[in-house]
């Protein structure tokens, strides 16, 4: 069963078994505006929860993408290197940044589920 979790920095991790696909939320892509460049991590790189793992640049600003949990990069979405606009078009689908092997599934407990993230967004308006 696939579950999605969110951070207060507007990253998501869609978990399927021991692998999580990470990207930025729709809220984040709207705040950034038109995405023009994405810097992805190298496959095999390991990150601790909260480490900067990627960078996304838009016409407005550059923003870091943090690892929502500890783990090792299994794959990157290399399509984003040629089509960074996918982050705007489908941020939580085809616009994912990387997939990582989750080192400690217990870290997911510190993230928000869909209902908690929606409630958090309501406090930002």
Task: List the domain boundaries for the chain.
Answer: 2-116
pLDDT score, position 125: 78
Mean pLDDT, residues 42-59 taken together: 97
pTM check: above 0.85:
yes
Fold annotation for 2-116 = OB fold (Dihydrolipoamide Acetyltransferase, E2P) (2.40.50)
- Give the contacts of 122 (CB within 8 A, at least 6 positions apart): none
Q: Rounded to 5 degrees, what are φ and ψ at 81?
A: -65, -35
pLDDT score, position 1: 80
Residue spans of alpha helices (H) in 59-98: 79-82, 86-89
- The number of residues making up the chain comes to 125
């Amino acid at each position: 069963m696939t579950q999605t979790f969110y951070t207060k920095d507007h990253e998501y991790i869609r978990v399927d078994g021991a692998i999580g696909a990470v990207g930025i939320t729709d809220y984040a892509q709207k705040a950034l505006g038109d995405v023009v460049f994405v810097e992805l991590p190298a496959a095999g790189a390991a990150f601790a929860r909260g480490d900067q793992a990627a960078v996304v640049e838009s016409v407005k600003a550059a923003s870091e993408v943090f690892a929502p949990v500890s783990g090792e990069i299994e794959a990157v979405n290399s399509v984003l290197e040629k089509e960074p606009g996918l982050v705007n078009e489908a941020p939580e689908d085809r616009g994912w940044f990387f997939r990582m092997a989750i080192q400690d599934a217990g870290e997911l407990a510190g993230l928000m589920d869909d209902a908690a993230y929606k409630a958090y967004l309501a406090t930002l308006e």
